[in-house]
Structure 1
């Protein structure tokens, strides 16, 4: 998916249609300095088995706008991508997901738009900074206990209890490892997605 100038806006992956079965749309946000391809790869290995339509936007800058100056150009881009995908595919619901800064952005957008988003998958997030909160999307968080980029003690071990206190249904997985997404964590996230209403 490109803009009028030919610049990459996002990558999309759609499993083969299965009768009239609608897709679960998962918008996947890459980490700081990452790419749309890295975002797509977060759940690409499980997309067919779980009938996930994946859209991986490319941030306008090196990371997402919220990290720098608040919601702006990236939100507008994502809105446009969603319009395009909804016009072209049968969609049952929307999940936001991401890794590292992308996970923080997914949480922030997801909690802000919880009346529109069914769930949020946050692999190794640093924080959540919603402008306001709406609805109660379910949340999956994973974090490596040896993460040196976003240490678990100051990130997910503080964030997850805060989300619980705010009434969110949070599934939390810590794993032995660093700033990464092991295959078993990806599989756990995909299985969790199947439990969403």
Structure 2
């Protein structure tokens, strides 16, 4: 007899649809602090995590996704200078190809890899609240996964995104979008200026910041994004 699917996943939904199964739970082992390497399967590049030392209580987990042709370290560096002050546990996976699976050939290997990394961190650290963030292709992927997994993810930080392409949606995570008005890689007009109104029409609370600059994430925008992330909490995943 086949066991029923977990209540947070519809029977037809799996990593091919962008669904993440991992969920926070009381830690069963103790993890280290500082910069932590999380090796993946053989021949895959390791993911990186940064865990602030000291303090009490749960961490806010932010999964950070690099741009096309980028690295886990570049993803981590998006918010690394701000992690200690805000007790942010940062996780930066490495895409299995030159960009994320959705952009290359469809959901699958990167979803499974991120799911496994989340399980590892949930088993080691107390976590309250999960956000996704990213730059460029990573921002598009963060939005797509965030809309798909709003029963886990309560916020998305999208720096210079191009699109959002969820196959299924759950919940209404709140969203921060920033884009440079002089971006020549992903121009603001066909990207964020179209995307943000669409997200708002779907009921997502969206904070939108344009800045004078190109395809980049200025320090002031990173600070504004983290201030937004930590100043308020949404009604909760799945609501």
Q: Shorter-normalised TM-score: what interval?
A: over 0.9
Deviations 1:128-178 (A, max 9, x none): 001111101000000000000000000000000000111100000000000
| DSSP 3-state at the match of 1:38 | helix
1:36 aligns with one of 65, 72, 79 = 72
Q: Is 1:62 paired with 2:98?
A: yes
Distance in 1 separating the partners of 2:209 and 2:98 = 28
Q: Trace 1:9-88 onto structure 2 (pairs within 5 A).
A: 9-19=46-56, 21-88=57-124
Aligned to 1:164: 200
Aligned to 1:182: 218
CA contact (8 A) 1:110 1:120 kept: yes
| DSSP 3-state at the match of 1:173 | strand
Q: Structure 2 unaligned segments of length 5 or more: list them.
A: 1-37, 234-239
Distance in 1 separating the partners of 2:146 and 2:41 = 28
Please state how far the C-alpha of 1:9 moved relative to its aligned partner: 3.0
| DSSP 3-state at the match of 2:60 | strand
Larger radius of gyration: 2
Distance in 2 separating the partners of 1:7 and 1:163 = 34
TM-score by length of 1: 0.97
Aligned to 1:5: 42
Distance in 2 separating the partners of 1:105 and 1:62 = 13
Greater helix proportion: 1
Runs of 4+ more than 4 Å apart: none
Deviations 1:21-62 (A, max 9, x none): 100000000000000000000000100111100000000000
Aligned length: 196
